[in-house]
Structure 1
Amino acid sequence: MPRGDGRLNHDLMPDEKGPQDACGVFGIYAPGEEVSKLTYFGLYALQHRGQESAGIATSNGDKILVFKDMGLVSQVFDEGALEALTGHIALGHARYSTTGASVWANAQPTLGPTAHGTVALGHNGNLTNTQELIDLLIEREGAARRLDLKGGKCTDTAVLTALLGSDREDTLAEVAMELLPHVRGAFSLAFMDETKLYAARDPQGVRPLMLGKLPSGGWVVASENPALDIVGAEFVREIEPGEFVVIDEDGVHSSRFAPADPKNCVFEYVYLARPDTTMNGRSVNAARLEMGRTLAREHPVEADLVMPTPESGTPAAIGYAQASGIPFGQGLTKNSYVGRTFIQPSQTLRKLGIRLKLNPLREVIEGKRLIVVDDSIVRGNTQRAIVKMLRDAGAAEIHVRISSPPVQWPCFYGIDFATRSELAAVNKTLEEIRLDLGADTLGYISTEGMIAATQQSQDRLCTACFTGDYPIEPPVDARHLLMSQTGEVSQ
């Protein structure tokens, strides 16, 4: 999948699948505003969080309209579609699937009937007790007749939507307050009915969720604050872990459905969030710069040039150059207009596929000792291809530096990491990984160095993909995902 903000380094190889986040959500309550267009631009700012499908639902206080389709935000919506989505409440979603198939039926927002109307829901994250919630739905209704549970078509979001509509008497807010304490995993939710906008964040606050206010007095919720900036909303605060928010004509109403136990995803700082996002008072760009500086202190090497793998490696590469005193430069040029290609290449073309998106600047590279900085290594295919490309362009030495520790464990909270058996760093020494990549040297930042760069305490972060320390119990059927090449299972 192409990253909407140009971070293409994990999409360079046709068969390479790098870390993808589950989704981006955006909600707005703003009488008198063109809420569908504001939501469009909000989703545009969140495109990096999901590129498979996009959708917008609106309400005029009486009925909900929804338009969604497969593709990027700019591909799904045009002026006519947005003009037809009238109202003063809107909910938008950009999806990357981590549960359920990548098909139109699973595009969000999802819709479902409630006791008093309709609910439209958007979800960023991944639930870990979906089967328990399905059992609860069956208990309440006698059968999960609204869900297709076969063939990978059922999503955790569809289950949540059905449960929110399973009570035939209470208001949607009352149903949500009763349901949310039973939901496990990562969930930053934005949802709406005909008259109100709602938001909720899991007790661990794994995924971000922000609250902003428009100059007109309207309110906005969004996965990241650049989506607030783009529509002219002022950042107010983050939705707190374990908090449930209702927004209506009287403003914002907050309730707590669970005590806060913050375990924010550290990979948001490493890669997932936009660099112009701020989380927990820490600029993501500043964190990535500091990761690069730390990397230079932990893994120094004599070289002529520090260069990034475009573009997510850029802040860390700048930080490495600052701390090392070695000049920073761009050794690879990127084609900004390359998106996902649906043309299946032959094996010969597949080997050349990386050149579609990156090409070396030979005059910069030739004869130079290079430090190549990237944010992470998942399977290693992309890094291996880049090292070869740089060698072919005449690089004298290639020193790979990674601004996160080795990824060794799958994520159950909304990042589509590979199983342990597919991860490049599992059951391999640093030297074995280096040889596999073809680099002269290889260095990863330490876990302690990465955490320090976020300026968050370790006990407030989820580092499971690096350490195997899961703050929320993984799904009971996930044993095969935790197995390494040797059959080792995390205890």
Structure 2
Amino acid sequence: MPPAHPFDFDAIRASGDEDKLKEECGVFGVIGLSDAANFVALGLHALQHRGQEAGGIVAYHPEHGFNSARRFGYVRDNFTKQSLMETLPGPLSIGHVRYSTAGSKGAAIRDVQPFFGEFSMGGAAIAHNGNITNAEELRRELIERGSIFQSSSDSECIIHLMARSLQKQAAERLEDALRRVEGAFSVVAMTRTKLIGVRDPLGVRPLVLGQLGDGWVLSSETCALDIIGAKFVREIEPGEMVVITDKGVESRQPFRPQKSRFCIFEHVYFSRPDSIIGGRSVYETRRQIGVELARENPVDADLVCPVPDSGTPAAIGFAAESGIEFGLGITRNQYMGRTFIEPTEQIRNMGVRLKLNVNRALIEGKRVILVDDSVVRGTTSRKIKDMILDAGAKEVHFRIASPPTAWPCFYGVDTPERDKLLAANMSEDEMCEHLGVDSLRFISLDGLYRAVGVAAGRDPKSPAYCDACFSGEYPVAPRDMVAKGFELKTAAE
């Protein structure tokens, strides 16, 4: 039977991507540029790594009003078509790319953002990156009061909360709504005349401001500014709201100030290496992670080999610090994505071999250090180890550029349940034996903090970042999940 739509999620998961944490969303918005939706499409293309399942764009034109398009699949396959983009005219537009949530086989089109609503003061659309940790509580309350939801997304709560606000202007309604919301959010919203950007008080998820000529841009990452030639102006501060009109940028602070807790895994994996976070190059940070990893966990070997592509900068840093030769012992097939629309069972069973192939001439007879960004379930790591041994490696040593991932994320990352996380159920030595490698070592949490620029390491009393996936210390209580029986970290742990 053919798939429900032409993007085969099962094929992608079978290829090994199910063993990586996935950022669930990327957002982008433009005001003050002719045919703004075309710039949004380019920006979403640069943010495709943050969400490859579906995308959506809303645009506003004074004569044609609000128009929207939502599609499954890659941006390049949908929002580069002239016939579609001509339906999205106007100088104001926002867009969104997304993954599905854990355990999902895909999404309904109604779940694809941006979401749009008509209010007494006019229409408004929102795109949200993050996760609302009290969404189910809010949803029950709103339904009891007469709200009718069109999607299963937690982000739709924001639209309904805006609708119930007594404020006259959209920005004030959005403030009202977000004061009720717990968790992590970077929101890009638009009305007929305004582009609005907001980050949650902890600043867990990223959002940056750029400028292009007389126009302004909001984006999840700086790499998306580069693709349209926009100048990076600054990051939106934690707890800040910016309201952008033809008169310029107005900044507000609608929330009680709190200490920032930006997601440290953005540095490790989520953000593109050519982005800038907190004034630091993501690539250079990942290279420094490799340096710290080599200092903490040296090993006598012949070759440092990255697990592509996310392990490459750390492997370069590891090789430079250790003095061991760097080599591209594994090659990624960049074109696997949509090749196998209806793969046979035999092809599915090939697993990561659909995406990765070993350079036997480089690997054979060598003691190999494999550098990867993380170990989640461990299924892909075992397959890669087998491939390296099949190619004739004498030894295989894993070095991981993040601490053990032992806790799920509830702030906008698609994470397996805790009992599916290898590090939640095994010690480091047990994981090493389970994976069947000669050694397995992770960077320490202090080492990771040093690599991202905190020289003293992690302050256990006041961490500078959200590192809950490693530490189990959640800066915002995951109230919905606790209500379902999720057990928070105990003092003994």
TM-score between the two structures when normalised by the length of structure 1: 0.91
- Counting only pairs closer than 5 Å after superposition, residues 58-457 of structure 1 correspond to structure 2 as 58-61=59-62, 63-77=65-79, 78-98=81-101, 102-138=107-143, 142-145=145-148, 147-148=149-150, 153-167=151-165, 170-214=168-212, 216-258=213-255, 259-340=257-338, 341-346=340-345, 348-456=346-454
Displacement of 1:14 in angstroms is 5.1
Counterpart amino acid of residue 249 in structure 2: V
Displacement of 1:144 in angstroms is 1.8
Q: Distance in 2 between matches of 1:226 and 1:425?
A: 32
Q: 1:246 to 1:379 in 2, by over 3 A?
A: same
Q: 1:144 to 1:238 in 2, by over 3 A?
A: same
CA contact (8 A) 2:37 2:85 kept: yes
Matched, 1:466 2:467: no
Q: Distance in 2 between matches of 1:169 and 1:374?
A: 49
Q: 1:454 to 1:47 in 2, by over 3 A?
A: same
Q: Match of 1:39?
A: 40
SS in 2 for 1:16: helix
Counterpart amino acid of residue 52 in structure 1: E
CA contact (8 A) 2:92 2:195 kept: yes
Q: Distance in 2 between matches of 1:370 and 1:17?
A: 22
After superposing the two structures, state which structure 1 stretch, 92-101 or 58-67, moved more: 92-101
Displacement of 1:131 in angstroms is 2.8
Counterpart amino acid of residue 428 in structure 1: M
SS in 2 for 1:328: coil
SS in 2 for 1:84: coil
Cα deviation, 1:418-463, whole Å, max 9, x if unaligned, reads 1110001113121210111111111100000001111147422001
Counterpart amino acid of residue 414 in structure 1: G
After superposing the two structures, state which structure 1 stretch, 95-104 or 33-42, moved more: 95-104
Cα deviation, 1:447-484, whole Å, max 9, x if unaligned, reads 00001111147422001000000001112434667459
SS in 1 for 2:68: strand
CA contact (8 A) 2:158 2:178 kept: no
Q: Match of 1:48?
A: 49
SS in 1 for 2:419: helix
Q: Distance in 2 between matches of 1:490 and 1:169?
A: 47
CA contact (8 A) 2:308 2:332 kept: yes
Counterpart amino acid of residue 106 in structure 1: D
Displacement of 1:178 in angstroms is 2.2
CA contact (8 A) 2:167 2:173 kept: no
Q: 1:303 to 1:14 in 2, by over 3 A?
A: closer
Cα deviation, 1:126-145, whole Å, max 9, x if unaligned, reads 01111343255347xx3122
Matched residue count: 470
Q: 1:305 to 1:54 in 2, by over 3 A?
A: same
Cα deviation, 1:111-158, whole Å, max 9, x if unaligned, reads 11111221111000001111343255347xx3122x15xxxx421111
CA contact (8 A) 2:165 2:177 kept: no
Q: Distance in 1 between matches of 2:276 and 2:17?
A: 32
Q: Distance in 1 between matches of 2:143 and 2:358?
A: 57
SS in 2 for 1:363: helix
Q: Distance in 2 between matches of 1:41 and 1:385?
A: 35
CA contact (8 A) 1:91 1:191 kept: yes
Percent identity, aligned pairs only, is 44
After superposing the two structures, state which structure 1 stretch, 352-361 or 66-75, moved more: 352-361
Counterpart amino acid of residue 109 in structure 2: W
Q: Distance in 1 between matches of 2:124 and 2:435?
A: 49
Q: 1:403 to 1:11 in 2, by over 3 A?
A: farther
Query: Which residues of structure 1 form unaligned runs of 5+?
Result: 1-9
Q: Distance in 2 between matches of 1:478 and 1:94?
A: 28
Matched, 1:18 2:20: yes
Displacement of 1:168 in angstroms is 6.3
Displacement of 1:177 in angstroms is 2.2
Q: Distance in 2 between matches of 1:398 and 1:483?
A: 36
Q: Distance in 2 between matches of 1:76 and 1:304?
A: 46
Counterpart amino acid of residue 388 in structure 1: D
Cα deviation, 1:384-424, whole Å, max 9, x if unaligned, reads 00000111110111011000010000100011111110001
Counterpart amino acid of residue 236 in structure 2: I
Q: What is the root-mean-square deviation in Å for CA atoms of aligned residues?
A: 2.2
CA contact (8 A) 1:26 1:91 kept: yes
Cα deviation, 1:183-223, whole Å, max 9, x if unaligned, reads 11010000111111111100000000000111x22100000
Q: Distance in 1 between matches of 2:483 and 2:467?
A: 19
After superposing the two structures, state which structure 1 stretch, 371-380 or 230-239, moved more: 230-239
Q: Match of 1:5?
A: none
SS in 2 for 1:189: strand
Q: Match of 2:5?
A: none
Counterpart amino acid of residue 19 in structure 1: L
